[in-house]
Amino acid sequence: MDSEMIHAGIPVIEVSHVCTRFGDAVVHKDINLTIRQGEIFAIAGGNGSGKTTLLREIIGLQLPAEGTIRLFGRDVPGLEERGAHDVYRRFGVMFQQGALFSSLTLAENVAVPLKEHTDIPPELIRDIVALKIAAVGLPMDSAGKYPSELSGGMRRRAALARAIVMDPELLFLDEPTAGLDPVIAAGFDELVLHLKAVLGLTVVMVTHDLDSLWRIADRVAILGNGTILDVGTMKELAGSTDPLIHEYFHGPRGRAAHSQYGV
């Protein structure tokens, strides 16, 4: 998607003056973000910078101490039960490491949101699940396997199939390529790009994978010192003079990723 179209797009997520505290520990102070329809927006930063905590606040699993978060123009903390259901079914989440239910098969894992949130008959659920398994590039003979029988890359794809099974408009990915070897991680990135194009998704990705950031992110927010240090394209951020951002992008891994993708 053209970057000018992305910047001019409709706000899907608006984070305003969010502060997060755990006791006396301040995780976030005055976080402000706008994520627009049709972009792949990444939240990056070092370990302990609060990336996943911010994601949990955006999707309503955790309330910030201060500030507002809006999804599709609706205040997340103030949603009543009916309003929450209407908003939450418009997005899917792939949690870190996949978070599959170990006692369920791949197909049963993918079917969980449909069984919990719809009245779709079982035979139609089976058909939808089969389509989503195929959409993420998994063979159908994997449908009856348990998570322990799948490789790391297959578990991530299974979790992605579950995240898109309700045909969401918005997709959240928490460290989607963490722990994967570079070839499998690159394949997962290509899959995300493909699904974004085919399904018209807006994607919000929490990651520290610099290769993924260069490959697929339209814009990136860098978290550090409890706040947003900067937001921009990878090329813009790689040229930053901020010491923390410079350190993030110009360490050994950052230089390697930049030389491969940033030219």
Instruction: Indicate the SS3 state at residue 33.
Output: strand
Mean pLDDT of the 58-62 span: 88
Residue 1 has pLDDT above 50, yes or no: no
Max mean pLDDT range (3-12, 83-92, 157-166): 157-166
Return the pLDDT at 6.
44
- Model confidence at 252, pLDDT cuts 50, 70, 90, reads low
pTM: 0.88
If 0-12 CB within 10 Å is exposed, 13-18 middle and 19+ buried, where does residue 21 land? Answer: middle
Pull the structure tokens for residue 148. Answer: 């322990």
Domain boundaries, the chain: 3-90+168-261
Check residues 61 and 196 and name the one with the higher pLDDT. 196
Return the pLDDT at 206.
95
Residue 248 has pLDDT above 60, yes or no: yes
Q: What DSSP element (H or E) covers 30?
A: strand 25-36
Instruction: Give the percent of the chain with pLDDT over 90.
Output: 65
Instruction: Give the percent of the chain with pLDDT over 70.
Output: 87
Return the pLDDT at 115.
92
Residue 130 has pLDDT above 90, yes or no: yes
- Please choose, from the candidates 155, 37, 145, 147, the residue with its C-alpha nearest in 3D space to the C-alpha of residue 95: 155
Return the pLDDT at 7.
47
pLDDT digits (tens, 9 = 90+) for 208-222: 899 999 999 999 999
- Model confidence at 14, pLDDT cuts 50, 70, 90, reads very high
Q: What DSSP element (H or E) covers 231?
A: strand 227-232
CATH code matching the domain that covers 3-90+168-261, chosen among 3.40.50.300, 1.10.760.10, 1.10.3720.10, 3.40.50.850: 3.40.50.300
Are 211 and 176 spatial neighbours (Cβ–Cβ below 8 Å)?
Answer: no
- Model confidence at 167, pLDDT cuts 50, 70, 90, reads very high
Are 202 and 35 spatial neighbours (Cβ–Cβ below 8 Å)?
Answer: yes
Return the pLDDT at 256.
54
Question: What's the mean pLDDT when you consider all of the chain?
Answer: 87
**For helices 243-250 and 252-261, angle between their N-to-C axes, nearest 10 degrees:** 70
- Show the DSSP H helices in the chain as ranges: 3-7, 51-58, 81-88, 106-117, 122-135, 152-164, 182-199, 210-216, 234-238, 243-250, 252-261
Q: Which residue has the tokens 């903390």?
A: 77
Q: What is the DSSP letter of 113?
A: H
Return the pLDDT at 87.
78
Check residues 219 and 90 and name the one with the higher pLDDT. 219
Mean pLDDT of the 72-97 span: 76
Residue 78 has pLDDT above 80, yes or no: no
- Please choose, from the candidates 102, 52, 168, 209, the residue with its C-alpha nearest in 3D space to the C-alpha of residue 160: 168
